[in-house]
Amino acid sequence: MRDSLPEKTLRAAVLVIAALALFAPIAAGLWHSASAALGHLPALGQSGPSIGPLQDLFAQPGFATALRLTLVTGFSATFVSLALAIALAAFITNGPARIVSRLLAPFLAVPHAAMAVGLAFVLAPSGWIARALAPVLGWARPPDLATVNDAFGAALTLGLVVKETPFLLLVILAALTQIPLRAHISTAQSLGYGLGAVWLKVIVPQLWPLIRLPVCVVLIYNLSVIDMALILGSSNPPTAAVLIARMFSNPDLAQILPASAGAMLLGLMAAASIAALWGGGHAIARLGPIWIRRGGRGAWAATLFSAVAMLGAGLLVLGALAMVSLLLWSLTWRWPWPMLLPESLSFAGWASAMGDFGPALQNTALIALASTALAVALAVAWLETQFKSGHEALIYLPLLIPQISFLFGMNTMLLQLGAQGSIGAVIWAHLLFVFPYMMIALTRPWRGLDPRYARAAASLGAGRLRQLWAVKLPLLLTPICAAVAIGVAVSVAQYLPTLFLGAGRIGTLTTEAVTLASSSDRRITGVVTSLQAGLPFAAYLLAFIIPKIAHRNRSALQGAAA
């Protein structure tokens, strides 16, 4: 059936709104960044094209080391996280996967900066691990070891792995619902293959096309992360993204040109990394059948999977300790070395911080709620009108391009419009990143809804808007609440968009947490990061409670019918 004119108009309107709100800003941002990278910036009296900015970039002290550190930490964290997630999924699918998924929610809720601060509390020379080892090793004072901010990026890699493994694990568990997992395992085990061999030879080849996009998103984030790199990474030289961000904020405005060149180089490096990941997957797909035809039962694979899964479980425990340490330090009054627990507790840190950081808390909540509400409205409009749209790949564009590659250009565009440094600009910037995650969370439930519900409502005379409000939204309340919780968590975690589009004038808990991470007062840092993590936790808790309350009558009716 052909679309009616009003429906065509609605489809076109949604596409125009999405293009103006999401795609056009990114394109404009890339254009401005690319122009400055080529030496064309009239505001500074520079007209290109010129390779001068690129030459100045490579002349920056430590840039080659920063680039190498970026590649090592980014790829290492991505592949280790993927390996841990696959191994954990192999064991979880034999047990209560649903319960495990709920237990992983706190790892998704806690922002990257808060997790990094918590890990710093645990890994630092005076942290929990060192305190636990002190009696055994006879340490009278904290050891002189670079366990955080090390030159090799080990702490940063560990932090990225702890944060990204739960995300990839949940992605894998969701993808496994599209594979006849039990049938494959039963058939392969009847032929003498162990669990590890079954996963390597049968499950993973089918799983990879389903999780390839999320893995690419994780890789791009790991290559361009700034907040975690500032807290856990090396400081001299830092990663390439941190070095470029510092050049953008340099008082010498001439540094904007090489910084723009660095931003575009990071974008090209990200594109090459995605191509390498994609090509590597195709190469393994071609070579894999040769290994499979050899017929080995892979007894070693079971041992390998068990070891990797145990390592993954240990890292999740480390992440849990990091989250607990945030709250514990926020309540600490005195915690002398080498005591494992604080000597005394107090709410004094909370009392003082609530007054000092109240505006940042209000800004964080306002920006998160506004950007999430806009993202929900746009996602629902898109899913209702663009059922078979070919433009959907563009939705995930903000997640596949390093933020720093286009945020400076967006900032320049807003400066020309006189909107730089406003809270509306920050909400708009957050919307760019909240909307793709909203679509990831809602697309499958929305399009998996039985169309007979809408047809039944239409047969009773309900129009399209009535069908949406009275039928679809109530039936999809649970995934919508979950998507809102994800949106809040994504918004709260945004550091660079807030810093760039807010021009340093819009303070949030995330920008404050990154600033305080290098301070000596762990109590105030613990309070701010606990507040930062508390907002997404509250959103996830409400996402669990609201559907229960809304559907309580349905549960009662089902119980009476039984």
- What is the pairing mode between strands 332-334 and 344-345? antiparallel
Is residue 319 scored above 90 in pLDDT? yes
Fold category of 51-346 in CATH: MetI-like fold (1.10.3720)
How far CA 561 is from CA of 321, 554, 556, 557, 558, in Å, comes to: 45, 11, 9, 6, 5
The C-alpha atoms of residue 279 and residue 94 are separated, in whole angstroms, by 32
315 vs 320: CA distance, rounded Å: 9
- Tell me which residue of 324, 313, 341 sits closest to 533, measured CA to CA: 324
Task: Report the mean per-residue pLDDT for the chain.
Answer: 87
Q: Which two tokens stand for residue 199?
A: 């996963």
Q: What is the pLDDT of residues 200-259, one digit of tens each?
A: 888 888 999 999 999 999 999 999 999 999 999 988 889 999 999 999 988 888 899 999
Domain boundaries, the chain: 51-346
Chain segment 5-58, per-residue pLDDT in tens: 467 777 788 888 888 888 888 998 999 899 999 988 887 777 878 888 999 999
Q: What is the full DSSP assignment across 499-521?
A: HHHTTT-S--HHHHHHHHTTSS-
Token pair of 429 as six digits = 């910037």
Question: For position 14, what pLDDT does the model report?
Answer: 82
Alpha-carbon gap, residue 305 to 312, rounded angstroms: 10
The pLDDT tens digits of the residues spanning 284-302 come to: 888 777 777 776 666 777 7
* pTM across the whole model: 0.91
